[in-house]
Amino acid sequence: MKVGAVIITMGNRPEELRALLDSVAKQDGDPVQVVVVGNGSPVPDVPEGVRTVELPENLGIPGGRNVGIEAFGPGGRDVDILLFLDDDGLLARHDTAELCREAFAADPELGIISFRIADPDTGETQRRHVPRLRASDPMRSSRVTTFLGGANAVRTRVFAEVGGLPDAFFYAHEETDLAWRALDAGWMIDYRSDMVLYHPTTAPSRHAVYHRMVARNRVWLARRNLPALLVPVYLGVWLLLTLLRRPSRPALKAWFGGFREGWTTPCGPRRPMRWRTVWRLTRLGRPPVI
């Protein structure tokens, strides 16, 4: 199976990007083809053989990754598997690409693999980086209902069937949108603790737009994908959880601004998942109300 990799960069981490590219080049088996997308910025120097695309403006995370997908042909069809890796990450092992090939070859229903993210100094995995509700044991691999955006592998047939990431999201929840559409089309998602991307421990709230984008995109996610009966339930649960976390007054103000924006702006085409998919998500441990 042919493997490609998409890496988006703002051009501000040249050393980390070079280290990531070196870790991709060291993968066992056939070489991994790589495309680096400069998301509104020039691409730093990269090794020979690495393709680059420089965008005149920042299209956001999903928009940049979609450009990377299309660099491998429509829907990424020139390869069988695409890795999506954060530019400040590092593949911890040399067999990750081979493990992906083996996993997809062994399971025809497998559409997406979510890697384990670990701090390079401590080896610890943050709870939020385990894509399931029961996240206390990051070393346990399992079927899951979503995946981590900067550390994953996707079978390109998934894009051919359900389309790419939602460009308009710009940042936050674009992975869950794709995951729900993939699950509704019959694909499965695995979290694999043995496929590791080293990444420094960070807080998502470091981004200035975090609270607004999280709230807006949460509403868009529900409006686009959930049966009408579940939309108010899902959003009501997340409103309650947000209040229980007691964010600061400015953060809460930004959150409610994004929540309102999610209702008053276009969310893209609505394709509600089947109730069969709702039941599948429930059996996998995460019903689409939380």
* Residues 238-289: tens digit of each pLDDT: 999 999 999 999 999 999 999 999 999 999 999 999 999 999 999 999 999 9
pLDDT confidence bin for 70, thresholds 50/70/90? very high
CA distances to 20, 24, 192, 197, 228 from 93, rounded to whole Å, are 12, 9, 13, 8, 44
- 3-state DSSP of 103-114: HHHHCCCEEEEE
Average pLDDT value for residue range 163-168 = 98
pLDDT of residue 144: 98
pTM for the structure as a whole: 0.96
Domain locations in the chain?
Answer: 1-196, 206-282
Cβ distance 85 to 197 under 8 Å? yes
Span 112-132, pLDDT tens digits: 999 999 999 999 999 999 999
CATH of domain 1-196: 3.90.550.10
pLDDT confidence bin for 207, thresholds 50/70/90? low
Cβ distance 3 to 100 under 8 Å? yes
pLDDT of residue 202: 80
pLDDT confidence bin for 205, thresholds 50/70/90? low
